[in-house]
Amino acid sequence: MTQPADVVVVTGANSGIGRAVALHLAERGMTVYGTVRSVDKAAKLLSMADDRGVTVELVELDVADDESVRAGLARVLAEAGRVDVLVNNAGIGGNGVVEEAPIETYAEVMNVNVYGGLRCLKVLLPGMRDRRRGTVVNMSSVAGRFASIAQGPYVMSKWALEAVSEQLAQELAPFGVRVAIIEPGITKSAIFAKNVEGTEPGSPYEPHLRRMFRFYQAALAHATDADEVGKVVHEAIVTDAPRLRYTVSWGGDEIVAGRAEISDEDWVALGAIVDDDEYYRAFSDAFGVDITNRP
């Protein structure tokens, strides 16, 4: 008897990584529901799906709102009968040094990047547990393993997502439900164009923000196509040898490995370097990604 196609929900499917994941999984024969905050703004997603000869069912849903999540996912369950895979992709950026970032920014970023996924889990996990089959894919970042300066709210949210994902993986193991954490490095995505907040002029933390933007400026020249993340998500879903973590995209492996190798004391000492050029050289040497613009 042929196994029916997996039914997949991809949150934040309207752009960037989420759109690439939704399209890639649809091309692999999965039944994909892509959540978007406004169906009226999903023309590009639908056009790209049409060009590829696939279908992505749109679900209007805001992961930051309890009732919106319940209503949107109830519609999916009513139409499809079940959900086999949840890809918690919806997310926002959040710049700011820890001292200066407003509490409201921390709350907003956590509400989308962490609580949004939890809202979806609470609706869909009971069915996965009952069937003793399913996969939860949580879209983290290398910033979930590496505390990038001047991105306090974003870093906090991704570290929190990594922690709750580790716990969830153990809790769901007896029920045959798998958890995969995807950790993209620098990937072509609209999130960078939207993530331009900085410090106030004259802030003592201006060097931190300058160094953070220098990293992204250097990295974007090598940014990985979001389709590569789609391939990794598909592998995490279908593999017979599942792992908890999957690192992908430019700089991902190097940054995660570099932070694991550098001591906490050397990490702190890196931040104490005053001269920008010296900092860029030290960062590049420690993490194996060149942000110095050396020829």
* Catalytic center residues: 154
Give the separation between CA 262 and CA 241, rounded to whole angstroms. Answer: 29
Looking at residue 53, its amino acid is: G
Token pair listed for 265: 């004391």
Q: How far is CA 241 from the centre of its chain?
A: 22
> Collapsing DSSP states into helix, strand and coil, what is residue 6?
coil
Give the separation between CA 127 and CA 172, rounded to whole angstroms. Answer: 12
Q: In whole angstroms, how far apart are CA 177 and each of 170, 173, 272, 273?
A: 10, 6, 44, 46
245-248 and 7-10 beta bridge pairing: unpaired
Give the separation between CA 25 and CA 21, rounded to whole angstroms. Answer: 6
Which residues pair with residue 246 across a beta bridge?
182
Give the separation between CA 45 and CA 50, rounded to whole angstroms. Answer: 9
Rounded to a whole number of angstroms, the distance between the first and last alpha carbons of the chain is 59
Token pair listed for 107: 């709350």
> Collapsing DSSP states into helix, strand and coil, what is residue 269?
helix
Q: How far is CA 163 from the centre of its chain?
A: 14
Q: In whole angstroms, how far apart are CA 150 and each of 197, 219, 248?
A: 10, 16, 23
